[in-house]
Structure 1
Amino acid sequence: MSKTWLITGISSGFGKALTKQLLANGETVIGTVRTKKEDIKELEEQYPHTLDVEHLDVTDVNEIRKVVSETIAKHNKIDVLINNAGYGLFGAAEELSDGEINKILATDLTGSIQMIRAVIPQMRKQGEGRIIQISSYGGQVAYPGNSMYHAAKFGIEGFCESVAQEVAPFNIGVTIIEPGGARTEFRYGSAHIANLIPEYDNTPTHAFLKMLDPKNGLAPGDPNKMATRIIRNS
């Protein structure tokens, strides 16, 4: 029996890889985007009955609730939530602006929290469900120049570990995914960099600049293989 998957951030990276594979397997995907890219439009045309693309800014709690309620009204269930939307923010703590700090926490931390909170009542009602949180090995270890990303990932992992125990009696599972470096837009397109100051040049804090330069080689991880494993174990 096919499942209904709600996936945030399907325009690139793991979200796109997961969506393509699920649709090819005959699953139903409700995928959210902030901006609809041409290849996502092509997927809509290819899978008109099994792909719904919804606009969602995960920093907007009201929009999160609207997408979840509309999904339930149309499909009557949400079997799997994949919290994938997020981005990296690089720079020393003192280089970051208040706005940059607030935005990444609203996206990578509280956005994921509110998505999970929004789907739990439906999963509890239907007596089953799976919540998959895309985190990072950066939710377990920390490096200089990445403090707020680590703060968000450490935070969402603690939240998920607690929620997993709360929802287990209702046959709802929670899985945290911690990929290593993967060839996605996280490094080579969506990464945000603070207004850097020269005091940190030639220190470990600005070492991320080398990592973000594609000329120095792409990340080793294959997002398609990772997506296959995520689906297989969901």
Structure 2
Amino acid sequence: MKTWFITGTSTGLGRILTEKLLALGHTVAATVRKPEALDDLKGHYGKKLWVAKLDVTDTSQIKDVVNRAFADLGQIDVIVNNAGYALFCAAEEASDEQIEQQIDTNITGSIQVIRSALPYLRAQGGGRILQLSSAGGQTTYPNFSYYHLTKWAVEGFCETLAKEVAPLNIGVTIIEPGAHKTSFANAMVTAPTMEAYDKTPAGDVRRAVEAGSFPIKGDVNKTVQEMIACVDISPAPLRLALGGDAYRDMRAALAARLEALDNQKEVAMASELKE
């Protein structure tokens, strides 16, 4: 059995992951903005569930909670960055405050959780880091520009981090789910719409979401099972795509980028200094 540290556990994927781990006999350090959200699990599992209040936009609070978790539980085997914020609007429509919240939650918060845990993982001789991204960390959809900003950024950070910490027996896996029916999807934050975008792809996506015409086939239970299973794979997989839509959309995006790059090969090589 392992000990897991998970952010954003009150609802959605984080809650389901916590429930499954506890049912399997693992110990979970769960962080939430409202600790009472886990009172039912705490009553049932007792000391197997360690709960702390955490707002991942507060770096000093992150450091304090991570320090306390390791102090109270000793070794923590898996760190899961799950807390997230999703801003759904055209780039021009968002407020400055919404943009800051998106970046502070998904980029800075994730980075600071990892940075706070790394000294402990090094000292104990290793561990795993699971970073929640999405298919939107490799492809893009209109109306999600700021969400994509954060997912692409954290994927670049984690891919680099994986190279740095692999010799220290610390594995990093970027989790890339497709669309799932979780409370997170219902918690997307919107902004006042601008008429100028009604007849653009941004408007098309908005109408499709409002009409419920996007098929959502992701199985949250199977996704969580694969997340749990991946920590026993050695070496750690750098990425874990979960959902047929995630696979299809990311593959199409990567193929298009590779084709575009190959089409520019002559220009790229011509701009190189000749010896």
Same fold (TM over 0.5): yes
Return the offset for 1:207.
3.1
Return the offset for 1:144.
1.5
Q: Deviations over 1:34-60 (max 9, x none)?
A: 12455x211110111100111100000
- Unaligned 5+ segments in structure 2 are 232-275
Q: State how far apart, in whole Å, the 2-side matches of 1:82 and 1:214 are.
A: 33
Q: State how far apart, in whole Å, the 1-side matches of 2:207 and 2:78 are.
A: 37
Return the offset for 1:133.
0.3
Q: State how far apart, in whole Å, the 2-side matches of 1:192 and 1:154 are.
A: 19
Give the SS at the match of 1:114. Answer: helix
Return the letter of the residue paired with 2:67: S
Maintained 8 Å contact 1:139/1:178: yes
Give the SS at the match of 1:178. Answer: strand
Aligned to 1:81: 79
Q: State how far apart, in whole Å, the 2-side matches of 1:212 and 1:75 are.
A: 43
Count residues in correspondence.
Answer: 231
Classify 1:11/1:212 alpha carbon distance in 2 versus 1 (closer, same or farther; 3 Å): farther
Maintained 8 Å contact 1:185/1:191: no
Return the letter of the residue paired with 1:231: I
Q: State how far apart, in whole Å, the 1-side matches of 2:213 and 2:11 are.
A: 22
Return the offset for 1:165.
0.7
Aligned to 2:239: none
Q: Answer 1 or 2: higher relative contact order, Cα 8 Å, separation at least 6.
A: 1
Larger deviation, residues 153-162 vs 224-233: 224-233
Q: State how far apart, in whole Å, the 1-side matches of 2:18 and 2:35 are.
A: 14
Pick from 47, 50, 54 the counterpart of residue 52 of structure 1.
50
Pick from 172, 190, 194 the counterpart of residue 191 of structure 2.
194
Maintained 8 Å contact 1:90/1:208: no
Q: Scaled by the length of structure 2, what TM-score is found?
A: 0.81
Classify 1:214/1:204 alpha carbon distance in 2 versus 1 (closer, same or farther; 3 Å): closer
Q: State how far apart, in whole Å, the 2-side matches of 1:125 and 1:211 are.
A: 49
Correspondence list, 1:158-177, <5 A: 158-177=156-175
Give the SS at the match of 1:47. Answer: helix
Maintained 8 Å contact 2:7/2:80: yes
Maintained 8 Å contact 2:8/2:32: yes
Correspondence list, 1:1-150, <5 A: 2-36=1-35, 38=37, 40-150=38-148
Maintained 8 Å contact 2:90/2:202: yes
Q: Scaled by the length of structure 1, what TM-score is found?
A: 0.94
Q: State how far apart, in whole Å, the 2-side matches of 1:228 and 1:208 are.
A: 31
